[in-house]
Amino acid sequence: MRPKISVNTINAAFNKLLDNRTLLLDATASGNLRVLISLLGPAYRGLIQQRGKSESATDIKLNSPAHFDWHYKREHPEMKRLTEIAKISQWNATTDIDWLQEVDFFDPSKPLLIEEFHPASTLPIWSKLTFEERAAQIRLLLSWLLSQFLHGEQGALFAAAQTTQSVPWLDAKLYGSTQVVDEGRHVEVFHTYLTKKLEKLYEINDNLYVVIDALMSDSRWDVKFLGMQIMIEGLALGAFGTIRQISGEPLLKELLRYVITDEARHVHYGVLALQQFYTTELSEKERRNREDWAFEMSLLLRNRFLMHELYDEFYAHHLSRAAWDKLVLKSKMMNSFRKTMFKRIIPNLKRIGLLSNRIRSHYEKIGLLAFENSKAAPELSVTELLDN
């Protein structure tokens, strides 16, 4: 059921608008009115109504066509090859991962994350905490991060199902069917680790809700694809890789290795499909619209995951929200995530034709153009992904 509108709701909405004024400014950065309008509905539902938090389940209305192909032509050999790789790379989240191994949260030789990754680790209050208290804070930080991954994976599961029905080519549909299974498995592993090991599940972050709602409710299959396969998956690959590298917890490292191998295929598939579509089938006006949309998404992903849920729970008495936001944005963790995620996203945008001279200066202004010559997904092997 939707929340009722009352004076309190309006007050809360007003405060939320003030809290999110940078988001509103971000949303006008490309100057593309159509892009801004397409984000207004998701922003209203995510930031004002807080649908991801105020309800235990949310129905998002869909408006995308199911495209049937009666000729069954196999015309995309690279996607066909990727489908074969996906078929032999399947794994079972229940039996291939050793869930019986204990996670010791207080073993300094196997830290969940390095302490400097916690945005609060530079605050004076951090040095007054005992080792056990600091370990507990790190455990909560990891719970927050993995909870957002879990919510993102649920979005990826539905987006994979929707793009499978809408994409025009049979080889893409067959590949998509393997991705649906992969994403279901990712929901399973993150949920199991969160509930059985970390024993804490956080609600969805408001801004992540906005991104997911925008992808679900957009009727254009390629925009769902762009958002999910290039942007969100690029972000996920970056974050999974960083966490796997800095964590000393064997079970977490093991499950991330499996997930990263699947995600690398998904990004590769997204690049193949969109490269074909954007370079051969879109008008220049439509291409520009996608380019602006991708830029707005880059801004959302770059600035908006500020862990307010952790702030409200533990740090609201120690510093203002504005000071917390600054702390998170310049934290070691955020710097590292930003670097690894855009190192993949920006070259992939270039490959699919969404980094024209018109938009490059926008990316340059926010410091992301430096990544344009990094290796894009298809050239990056899984071994490299696991190593960097």
Residue 380: CB minimum distance to Fe ion, A: 15
Residues in region 117-156 near Fe ion by CB under 5 A = 153, 156
| Count of residues in contact with Fe ion, rule CB under 5 A | 7
185 sits near Fe ion (criterion: CB under 5 A): no
Distance (Å, whole) CA 138 – CA 105: 9
Provide the 8-state DSSP code for 351: H
Residue 260: CB minimum distance to Fe ion, A: 10
Joined tokens for residue 153: 């994976």
The residue among 167 and 306 lying less far from Fe ion, judged by its C-beta, is 167
The residue among 269 and 363 lying less far from Fe ion, judged by its C-beta, is 269
Joined tokens for residue 45: 């539902």
Residue 159: CB minimum distance to Fe ion, A: 9
Taking a C-beta distance cutoff of 8 angstroms, is the pair 99, 192 a contact?
A: yes
266 sits near Fe ion (criterion: CB under 5 A): yes
The residue among 260 and 366 lying less far from Fe ion, judged by its C-beta, is 260
51 sits near Fe ion (criterion: CB under 5 A): no
Residues in region 229-258 near Fe ion by CB under 5 A = 233
Distance (Å, whole) CA 265 – CA 262: 5
Encode 366-380: b = buried (16+ Cβ within 10 Å), e = exposed: eebbebbebebbbeb
307 sits near Fe ion (criterion: CB under 5 A): no
The owner of tokens 């926010």 is 366
In a 10 Å sphere around its CB, with 0-12 CB exposed, 13-18 middle and 19+ buried, how is residue 231 labelled?
buried
Distance (Å, whole) CA 374 – CA 384: 13
Contacting residue, 186, 197, 265, 362, with Fe ion by CB under 5 A: 186
Per-residue contact flags (x/-) with Fe ion for residues 161 to 180, judged by CB under 5 A: --------------------
Site for Fe ion, rule CB under 5 A: 153, 156, 183, 186, 233, 263, 266
